[in-house]
Chains A and B, each alone.
Chain A
Amino acid sequence: MADWNDILNNSEEPLKDDELINYVEDNLSEEEKHDFEKKLVDSSFMNDAVEGLHHFNTKQQLNQYVLQINKNLQSQLDAKKQRRKKRRLKDNPWTVISILILLAICIIGYFVIHFHLKEKLLKTPAKTEATLNGG
């Protein structure tokens, strides 16, 4: 019964890269090959891919190729993310201006407080001396 069911079912199980490479390198048993091929029957995508992978001269390097392509994709996506961040700032100049104003207020505030305290400290000993002489 289950065998008949196989004919009606469309395999939706995803292919694993290792499984695919092992198949192309002819490293699977006949039983494993059959299980793998069942997934191929309904997918033009997978069928085309398997056919193409057979054409590679050095199948051992397929993993390396994949890693390299994925690395490039990652760096392109990261660069895109950075560009988007920069553009976001560019698109909102008021955010930048507000931050700058806030920073300026903080710096001015620091100096005002700093000078005020310094002045207070300078005045305090003179006052003490005057109080002593007066006493």
Chain B
Amino acid sequence: MAKDAFAHIEDKELLDKYYSEGDNQWLGILLQRYTLLLLGVCMKYLKNEEDAKDSVQQIFLKAVTEVQKYRVGYFKSWLYMIAKNYCLMKIRDRQGKIPVELTDKMIFEEQEQDQKSKMIEKDNTLNLVEEGLKELNEEQKLCVTLFYLQKKSYNQIVDTTGFNLMQVKSFIQNGKRNLKLIVEKKLKKING
């Protein structure tokens, strides 16, 4: 209910309200936006419904404590980092292995990626994308074309190409990333 009433307020605004007023209500609204996503993330790593539900509550508690210690900039990525680290620690406790922790650096990289893509958008480089697409490997070129240009869903691409779902996702994600890099390179060349 509360979620719907505040749907128009962005994460950053809610977080600012929390920091300025110190009222947990704002933090509650913000966290509740991510309950389902967190449930999915916990289930992906822990593979147990009860563990996943308990873990989301523990992640909330951790987030409530941590958010007071320093000013969080990009809430969504920060919460994902907390959730992923919590799950990895839980797996470590189960298996006695040391997992790789997500760090702020990784968040920064994700944000940097966002900024880079915004930068690319501003320039009139759409024809470079067309050229860049030809430079991708065959699988990536095929999946990116089917997904972005022919607007096919993952399943349709699986049916068309014979790749499995994981491969399709990976070809699209990597293809998109590589395409951006190619466009960036071309832009640098043009701009000297």
Partner of A8, one of B44, B120, B169: B120
Q: How far is the CA of A96 from the CA of B113 in the complex (A)?
A: 54
| Range for the number of chain A residues in contact with chain B | 35 or more
Whether B36 lies near A52 (C-beta < 8 A) is no
Q: How far is the CA of A47 from the CA of B51 in the complex (A)?
A: 20
Main secondary structure of the interface of B (DSSP, over half): helix
Residue of A nearest to B32 (CB): A70
Partner of B148, one of A7, A17, A51, A65: A7
- Is A27 close to B, CB under 8 A? no
Whether B28 lies near A77 (C-beta < 8 A) is yes
- Is A87 close to B, CB under 8 A? no
Whether A66 lies near B35 (C-beta < 8 A) is yes
Main secondary structure of the interface of A (DSSP, over half): helix
Per-residue B-contact encoding for A68-95, CB less than 8 Å = 1, 0 else = 1110111011001100000000000000
Per-residue A-contact encoding for B57-87, CB less than 8 Å = 1, 0 else = 1001100100000000000110010001000
Interface core residue of A8, A37, A55 (most chain B CB under 10 Å) = A8
Residue of B nearest to A14 (CB): B33
Residue of B nearest to A33 (CB): B153
Which chain A residues lie closer than 8 Å to B15 at the CB level? none
- Is A44 close to B, CB under 8 A? yes
- Is B17 close to A, CB under 8 A? no
Whether A34 lies near B153 (C-beta < 8 A) is yes
Known: A4-B129, A7-B176, A76-B61. A21 touches B36 (CB 8 A): yes
Known: A4-B129, A6-B148, A33-B154. A77 touches B64 (CB 8 A): yes
Whether A76 lies near B153 (C-beta < 8 A) is no
Partner of B154, one of A14, A20, A37: A37
Residue of B nearest to A71 (CB): B32
- Is B147 close to A, CB under 8 A? yes
- Is A62 close to B, CB under 8 A? yes
Whether A69 lies near B56 (C-beta < 8 A) is yes
7 A-B pairs with the lowest CB-CB distances in the bound complex, closest first? A49-B40, A52-B44, A52-B43, A52-B40, A33-B153, A53-B40, A49-B37
